[in-house]
């Protein structure tokens, strides 16, 4: 419901209709959210979220889980580590041939709030 409140569409009562302008505002808000989610998916792999688990991972375990079509220089992976905190690593290699080399991964940016929430 929060997304609709941010569209500028006036509050409606049950049974009230929507004008075409209202529908366009809602569609625009939804499209912006879809765009933001797609951008996130293109730049980040959250192992626990995408694998549907709360297990601990190591970088070595997470790297091969990233689908090949999403891999790129600067790509970030995020996972729950054995310390109980989320770890975020960025691929800093010069080419995708180095993808599986853990020495080509590091803390290249991003904000992690303990507990896994951005």
Q: Which tens digits make up the pLDDT trace of 86-114?
A: 999 999 999 999 999 999 999 855 555 55
Q: What is the pLDDT of residue 65?
A: 96
- What is the Cα 118 distance to its own chain's centre? 10
Q: At CB < 8 A and 24+ separation, what contacts does 51-55 make?
A: 54/80, 55/80
Asked if the structure places residue 115 within a domain, the reply is no
Share of the chain above pLDDT 70, in %: 84
Whether residue 115 is predicted with pLDDT greater than 70 in this model: the reply is no
**Does the pTM of the predicted model rise above 0.75?**
no
Based on the structure, what is the number of domains in the chain?
Answer: 1
Quote the CA–CA distance of 32 and 59 in Å, as a whole number.
32
Tell me which residue of 54, 43, 50, 41 sits closest to 110, measured CA to CA. 43
Residues 6+ positions from 55 with CB-CB distance below 8 Å:
48, 80
The mean pLDDT of the chain is 84
Distance CA 86, CA 31 (A): 30
The mean pLDDT value for 53-69 works out to: 96
Beta bridge partners of 77: 45, 89
> Would residue 64 count as lying in a domain?
yes
State the DSSP H helix or E strand holding residue 26, giving kind and residue range, or none if neither. helix 20-43
Report the DSSP beta bridge partners of residue 91: 105
pLDDT of 117? 46
Query: What was the pLDDT predicted at 39?
Result: 72
Tell me whether residue 49 is in a domain: yes
Whether residue 38 lies inside any domain: the answer is no
Domain extent at residue 69 = 45-106
pLDDT class of 118 with cuts at 50, 70, 90: very low
What mean pLDDT comes out for the span 37-59? 87
């Amino acid at each position: 419901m929060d997304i609709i409140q941010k569209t500028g569409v006036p509050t409606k009562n049950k049974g009230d209709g929507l004008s075409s302008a209202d529908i366009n505002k809602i569609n625009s808000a939804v499209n912006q959210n879809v765009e933001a989610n797609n951008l996130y998916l293109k730049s980040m792999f959250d192992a626990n979220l995408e694998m549907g688990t709360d297990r601990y991972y190591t970088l070595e375990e997470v790297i091969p889980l990233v689908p090949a079509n999403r891999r790129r220089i600067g790509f970030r992976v995020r996972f729950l580590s054995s310390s109980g905190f989320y770890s975020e690593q960025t691929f800093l290699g010069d080419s995708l041939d180095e993808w599986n080399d853990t020495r080509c991964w590091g803390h290249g940016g991003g904000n992690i709030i303990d507990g896994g929430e951005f």
